[in-house]
Chain A
Amino acid sequence: MQTEFNIYGETISSRLILGSALYPNPALMQQALQQSGCEAVTLSLRRQAPEQQGGEQFWRLIRDLNLKLLPNTAGCHSVQQAVTLAQMSREIFQTNWIKLELIGDDYNLQPEPVLLLQAAEQLLADGFEVLPYCTDDLVLCKRLYELGCKVLMPWAAPIGSGLGVINPYALRTLRERLPDATLIVDAGLGVPSHACQVMEMGFDGVLLNSAVALAKDPVVMAKAFSQAVSAGRAAFLAGAMPKQDFASPSTPVLGMPFWLQEAP
């Protein structure tokens, strides 16, 4: 079964990407990431606080895991902020990958579509490999793809909501209309069945954080999501049966005992 896919030419075996935030403690983060089998992890940059020793412990843990790093621009509200943070990330993490987040609304953390396009264009021109966090809007995703974003990361629901897929029609449409784009559902998933659902639709991968980190047992939940992603991918490749609005017996009717061919 084909399990690997690629992100800007880099082959990734696991279709599950996890975030590194919100875990009860660093050791659980490390165990959860290991149990998930993920090969890439998201992280970010913030002002260095001397009392936290520059986040040295976190950085050491992440480095020891030897995962591919996907830095984000979380919290940015302008093109300039996002571009600057991306450039800082590239220098520190030595990767051209950037998960471009540009927030347009602080209540639901919905991406700002116009600024997202502008920032993506600037970053692509600067040699970045941009993975924009976007809504499930078809036209926005088409524009991002046309700009050169080979990987798109539409939300299933607002970040951290755990609501699951709030608009299955929009996600199905995205998959159908952008068959060559690498589409990773990012944000809003709450339980493994949500991940399985989008993988069954044919999405290439899933990125999540809160659903694992905020579970009562993050390590077990990480494994559960990993299995759900694999199951969903296998189901997509297997091809689901067509739906119908009527019943159809699975056991043959022919030869059924006790049925009389003719009335006595």
Chain B
Amino acid sequence: MAEHMKTELNIWLNGKTEILNSSQLIDVLPRFKAPFAVALNGCFIAAVQYPDIVLKAGDELDIVSPIAGG
């Protein structure tokens, strides 16, 4: 009988530790409001790539949005 494997993954999300139940990037994103952009381990991830990204333990994920600037 196939046993359901529960995923628990520790990553850094916007500078804070986070335990994820899914390793898929697209499962992390719904809690963020558009517009946003994504970087993984300091590298830009284009929106078209989101479905292909699988996260690993210790990954550093940054989700950024517009803010005032000079």
**Which residues of chain A have a CB within 8 Å of any CB of chain B?**
19-23, 29, 42-50, 53-56, 58-59, 62, 71-72, 74, 80-81, 83-85, 87-89, 91-93, 159-160, 209-210
Contacts and interface: CB of A to CB of B under 8 A. Distances in A.
Interface in B22-70: 31-39, 42-44, 46-47, 62-70
Given A19-B69, A21-B68, A47-B15, 18 more contacts: A19-B70, A43-B67, A45-B65, A47-B62, A47-B65, A54-B36, A55-B65, A55-B67, A58-B66, A58-B67, A71-B69, A84-B44, A92-B35, A92-B37, A92-B66, A159-B70, A160-B70, A210-B70
Given A47-B62, A91-B37, A74 B69 contact: yes
B17 interface: no
Contacts of A45: 37, 64-67
A56 B67 CA distance: 9
Contacts of A42: 69-70
Contact of B69 (A20, A88, A92): A20
Contact of B36 (A44, A92, A93): A92
A162 B68 CA distance: 19
A22 B44 contact: no
B57 to A, nearest CB: 21
A210 B64 CA distance: 24
A128 B14 CA distance: 26
B36 A48 contact: yes
Contacts of B33: 48, 53-54, 56
B67 to A, nearest CB: 4
Nearest to B35: A92
Contacts of A92: 35-37, 64-66
A74 B70 contact: yes
Contacts of A93: 66
Interface residues of B, number: 25
Contacts of B47: 91
Nearest to B14: A47
Contacts of A74: 69-70
22 contacts: A19-B69, A21-B68, A29-B68, A43-B67, A43-B68, A43-B69, A45-B66, A45-B67, A46-B64, A46-B67, A48-B33, A50-B32, A58-B67, A62-B66, A71-B69, A81-B42, A88-B37, A88-B39, A89-B37, A91-B37, A91-B44, A92-B35
A207 B46 CA distance: 30
B15 A48 contact: no
A48 B10 CA distance: 19
B69 A84 contact: no
A48 B69 contact: no
B65 A54 contact: yes
A148 to B, nearest CB: 21
Contacts of B14: 47-49
A46 B67 CA distance: 6
Q: 3 closest A-B pairs (Cβ-Cβ)? A: A44-B69, A19-B70, A209-B70
A45 B63 CA distance: 9
